[in-house]
Every structure is written in structure tokens, then in C-alpha cells.
Amino acid sequence: MPTPVTPAELYRHGLQLLLQKDIPGWVDLWDDSGVLEFPFAPKGWPPRLEGKAAVADYMRHYPDHVDLHDFPDVKIHQTTDPETIVVEMRGVGRLVETDSPFDMTYIAVVTVKDGLITSYRDYWNPLAVSEPGADFAGAN
């Protein structure tokens, strides 16, 4: 794939890497000082990861927890800042440990500078981790 040139292209490329379980490739889309935030992180989960290395460490075992099959509904909205997008999406697959279905809706606010992610605010549903069999995202 040619080098993505817009935040939307970069984001869609990142989704493909996640589906391919290429976590190192996904992490390579990040700026060294990029920040990943979880504004609704439940107790015991990190609300903020600072730096590419912290993001890599958090995501390293993600495929061991969640087997993503598809992102069937991705809507990317451009903001008045050309480097920032708002993404509405759904990820589906299965939880590896329990083999139960995984179906999560996300909203993300993502900023890309010089072709790399510098800020990613992930607004996912923290109540999902309290549901039976949902100990999945603990990529840490």
C-alpha cells in the first residue's frame, strides 16, 4: 500500500493492520511521542498512554485477547482541523479466552501530523468489561 497521505487513509490502513493482527505494523503508524487516551477507562485500566513504546506495550498481546474479524461500520468525519478526524466504528470478532462473540462500538478522535498518529482518544464502553466473559481488552 502506498504511504497514506490523509488521516482517514492512515486510519483505514491501521484497521486493516489490526485485522491482519499486525500489531507492530499498527504501532509503526504512531509518532514517537503519540498519546493514546481512554477517557472512560474503568478502574484499574490506564486512562492515558504516553509515547509509542507505551502504546506498543499495551497493544502487544491484543490478538491473544480479541480475535477481530471485521469493522463492518466505519464512518470517518473530517473536522475543521484537517489533521483531526472523528471516527464512529464497530469492531466484531470473538473473545479468545471464552470463544464468545465480541461486538464493540467505538468513537475515536484522532490527530495525525506528518503521516503519524500523535493523539488518539478512544471512547469505548467501559461497561462492556464488567459483562460476563468480557475480560478481553486487557492488552496489558
Written as nine digits, the cell of 134 is: 468480557
**Which pLDDT tens digit goes with each residue over 100-125?**
999 999 999 999 999 999 999 999 88
**Which pLDDT tens digit goes with each residue over 50-103?**
999 999 999 999 999 999 999 999 999 999 999 999 999 999 999 999 999 999
- Selected from 3.40.830.10, 2.40.50.100, 3.10.450.50, 1.10.20.10, the CATH number assigned to the domain covering 7-130 reads 3.10.450.50
> Which of 69, 88, 68, 67 is CA-nearest to residue 77?
88
pLDDT band at 3 (very low <50, low <70, confident <90, very high): low
Q: H helices of 1-140, where? A: 7-19, 23-27, 52-59, 62-65
Where do the domains of the chain lie?
A: 7-130
Using DSSP, state whether 129 is helix, strand or coil.
helix
